[in-house]
Amino acid sequence: MRAVMPGALVVAAVLLLGPAHADTIYVSNELDNTVSVIDGETLALTGTIPVGRRPRGIAISPDGQSLFVAVGDDNRIDVVDLKTRKVAGSLPSGEDPELFALHPDGKRIFIANENDSLVSALDIASRKLIGTVPVGVEPEGMAVSPDGRLVLCTSETTSMVHVIDADKLELLDNILVDTRPRWAAFSPDEKQIWVSSEIRGTLTVIDRASQEQIARIEFQVPGVEQDLVQAVGFVLNKAGTRAYVALGPSNRVAEVDTKTFKVLNLYLVGQRVWHVALSPDEKRLYTANGNSSDVSVIDLESQEVVKSIGVGRGPWGVAVAP
């Protein structure tokens, strides 16, 4: 395993940043009630969008025209027009939305209502909640399978991942995982379910068909106390060969080989990294660092942290638009 540390960032920036990127990066700032906008070519902060109170979960619509932001203290999802960079409207979400997942058809949103132990389903066009599904205590991580048939929800206090029928809005299965699961995802081939555990600092990999555990990936960071190594947000690349895992207050992001389940690299980033997002070409990884109020940019080809970009207070979620 290789530990990757930031080098002489300013001097090496021109060499390391590589070819121009047309990406636009959006970061929700939980303590500022804003979304920061970063230009992917210059890696400079280019704008700040005021939204509702306590923005956390954030995602871009399939058509690339809108940004959805869960504003938990206002019990709604704000919809930002990406052309005007202004809130164009809002959607009902149920109480205290934290994270949500967009259906691949772009017509529905599935929302974790943390205080109510529910998953709410929202029809975007009609702006109406169309159903709820009771789940465990403190639901958070949400995902929809690539085929659009299934929804995942993690419940932090119950330590489960729940499998829901996306059309019938019926709970199909409850799968016990490690303590305080924060994020969930299907593998691109839909054969596996991946779930992070904040308290145990692990990733659990589950066979979708049998619901049996395939692997349990543990993380150790040299020189860092084990209770500070907390697995929270993560992302799988399109080929399903790599996972990039935010390790919270250890201030690291782990790169994992999804075939061998081995940790390949540890990247030193900002303080209290919450969530991560890949650029569309998957050559960069962007991290939201909650306690240092910045975004780290990792060049995955050179395996270097190439830049730190100041944003608002308490950055939490991150999304990238081409």
Per-residue pLDDT at 15 exceeds 60: no
- The β-bridge partners of 113 are 97, 118
Scanning the chain, the segments in alpha helix (DSSP H) are 9-17
- What is the rounded distance in angstroms from the CA atom of residue 83 to the CA atom of residue 198? 36
pLDDT in tens, 57-91: 999 999 999 999 999 999 999 999 999 999 999 99
pLDDT in tens, 231-268: 999 999 999 999 999 999 999 999 999 999 999 999 99
Long-range CB pairs of 223-226, under 8 A, 24+ apart, other chains included:
224/250, 224/252, 226/201
Per-residue pLDDT at 226 exceeds 60: yes
State both tokens at 142. Answer: 């949400």
Predicted pLDDT at 11: 36
pTM over 0.85: yes
Q: How confident is the model at residue 4 (pLDDT cuts 50, 70, 90)?
A: low
- What is the rounded distance in angstroms from the CA atom of residue 121 to the CA atom of residue 137? 18
The percent of residues in the chain predicted with pLDDT above 90, rounded, is 93
Q: In whole angstroms, how far apart are CA 122 and each of 91, 107, 137, 157, 310?
A: 8, 8, 21, 24, 34
Q: How many CA atoms within 13 Å lie on the side-chain side of 255?
A: 23
Burial of 70 (0-12, 13-18, 19+ CB in 10 A): buried
pLDDT in tens, 117-129: 999 999 999 999 9
Give ∠ CA 90-92-98 in degrees, rounded to 5: 95
Could you tell me which CATH class the domain 2-321 is placed in? mainly beta
Per-residue pLDDT at 229 exceeds 70: yes
Question: What is the pLDDT averaged over residues 103-110?
Answer: 95
pLDDT in tens, 150-159: 999 999 999 9
Q: In whole angstroms, how far apart are CA 119 and each of 109, 134, 164?
A: 10, 6, 9
Of 57, 21, 16, the residue nearest 38 (C-alpha): 21
Sequence-distant (6+) residues with CB within 8 A of 94 are 75, 111, 113, 116, 118, 120, 129, 132
Predicted pLDDT at 1: 61
State both tokens at 231. Answer: 């697995």
CA-based end-to-end distance of the chain: 32
The percent of residues in the chain predicted with pLDDT above 70, rounded, is 93
